[in-house]
Amino acid sequence: MDQDVCVLVPTIREYECMRAYFENAREHGFDLSRLHVVLVTEDFCETDEMRAMLDEEGVSGEVFDGTRRQEWYAEQDVEEYAHVVPAASHAETSFGLLYVWANEQFDYVFFVDDDTLPHDDQDFFGTHMANLAFEGEVEAVSSDEQWVNVLYQNADEHGLYPRGYPYSAMDETVETGTATVERGDVVASQGLWTNVPDLDAVRILMDGDLQGQAQTRTTADDYGKDFVAARGNYLTVCSMNLAFRREVIPAFYQLPMDDNEWAVGRFDDIWSGVFLKRACDVLGKQIYNGAPLCEHNKAARSTFDDLNNEVPGLELNEHLWRIVDEVDPTDRRNGDAATPRNDVSADADDYADVFEEMARELATGDWSAYNNGAFLNHVGEYMLDWLDCLAALERVEVPAAGD
């Protein structure tokens, strides 16, 4: 079997969780030789021990701390774009996306967070791969607020909304229907989570928890059918348990959080999910949600620390999706717009074109009416640099990973 799956794991401490994922693969008959694991970490972490763990498990992989990332940029001659990956941030997963883009052997990408574990009774890798190959009918969810709460199935009982769900879109009226999906239409598979729900700090405080977790917990019983968000509806995309096709990378940049003058953090995967959903709607693709579940064992920490990181971007989160929703990339797709600034789109099935239109809107707009509105200009500029970096990587000959 070809090595066609790259697993990206941002970690500074709990890398041993990957042993459980490898064991899950063995128990369910998933071929581990298909995997190449990239651990994205820091110079102060146990990089030798991480490499030893991969060797002991007999799994192909590499460890990239800060020093090794800088070396990789130099090797690919893209040092001028190193700034697109923020330092000491969960959004360092963007480095993994650059790595995959440079290594064309990978058709599929997994994001796995180091505070999660697979459910023993579910085939973690196999289920995600089956979702990406899904064809047939699936539940399609929409609301009068254009947002789908991925926890909607038992929301009347637990009342939870996930991190990143706009406050202005709460108390929505949910409608369900059926979508017919053709093979290849599913480009991302989002697995959901049990134990500690993925909530923002305000909602954690409202739930009465000061340790950054939540008093209300989720179980497998909170989830029913797998589903997609209907076209024109947005949803939160959490990167802790996610698989996707390589082709979406141009529109799935994990945004420059934490390391910025506005101190905006905690929205990297949320906003990248908004961009990806808009691109999917334009291109007729789908994000599949539900199984496989993972167990989220978020470590205790101050809820107020998370709150301080989230507050600078809370107002922007209420408006970003509306800005994106009004971007119309159809003129470019019909050839009526200006020439794209790079040639990524030819190999990206137009994800780059859609992403570029969103990026230009953010980079050139006047967002001064919002608190920290200039951060949206900053994000737009970095999105354009992201596309340029991908184009530069396409011009580089890269040895196959694992060689």
- The pLDDT value given to residue 344: 42
Alpha helices in 219-350 (DSSP H): 268-283, 303-325, 330-333
Place of tokens 């369900």: 176
Mean predicted lDDT score pLDDT of the chain:
93
Q: For residues 393 and 378, what is the distance between their CA atoms, to the nearest angstrom?
A: 23
Asked whether the beta carbons of 190 and 287 are under 8 A apart, the reply is yes
pLDDT tens digits along 86-126: 988 889 999 999 999 999 999 999 999 999 999 999 999 99
- The pLDDT value given to residue 331: 58
- The pLDDT value given to residue 88: 82
Asked whether the beta carbons of 267 and 165 are under 8 A apart, the reply is no
What average pLDDT does range 304-310 have in this prediction?
94
What average pLDDT does range 357-363 have in this prediction?
97
pLDDT tens digits along 61-81: 999 999 999 999 999 999 999
Q: At what angle do helices 351-364 and 374-394 cross, to 10 degrees?
A: 150
Whole-number Cα distances in Å, 17 to 117, 248, 261, 294, 355: 6, 27, 34, 12, 34
- The pLDDT value given to residue 108: 98
What average pLDDT does range 338-352 have in this prediction?
51
Residue 398: pLDDT band (50, 70, 90) is low
What average pLDDT does range 283-310 have in this prediction?
96
Q: Assess whether pLDDT exceeds 70 at residue 345.
A: no
Residue type, position 68, single letter: R
pLDDT tens digits along 173-231: 999 999 999 999 999 999 999 999 999 999 999 999 999 999 999 999 999 999 999 99
Nearest to 63 by CA among 38, 27, 42, 87: 38
Q: Which residue has the higher pLDDT, 88 or 306?
A: 306
Whole-number Cα distances in Å, 114 to 13, 300, 303, 323: 8, 14, 19, 33
Cis peptide bond N-terminal to 292, omega within 30 = yes
Q: For residues 184 and 219, what is the distance between their CA atoms, to the nearest angstrom?
A: 30
**Prediction pTM value:** 0.93
Task: Give 269's contacts (C-beta < 8 A, 6+ positions apart).
Answer: 90, 91, 93, 237, 238, 239, 254
Residue 342: pLDDT band (50, 70, 90) is very low
- The pLDDT value given to residue 395: 78
pLDDT tens digits along 254-287: 999 988 999 999 999 999 999 999 999 999 999 9
Lowest mean pLDDT among 128-137, 255-264, 299-308, 392-401: 392-401
Percentage of the chain beyond pLDDT 70 is 93
Residue 1: pLDDT band (50, 70, 90) is low
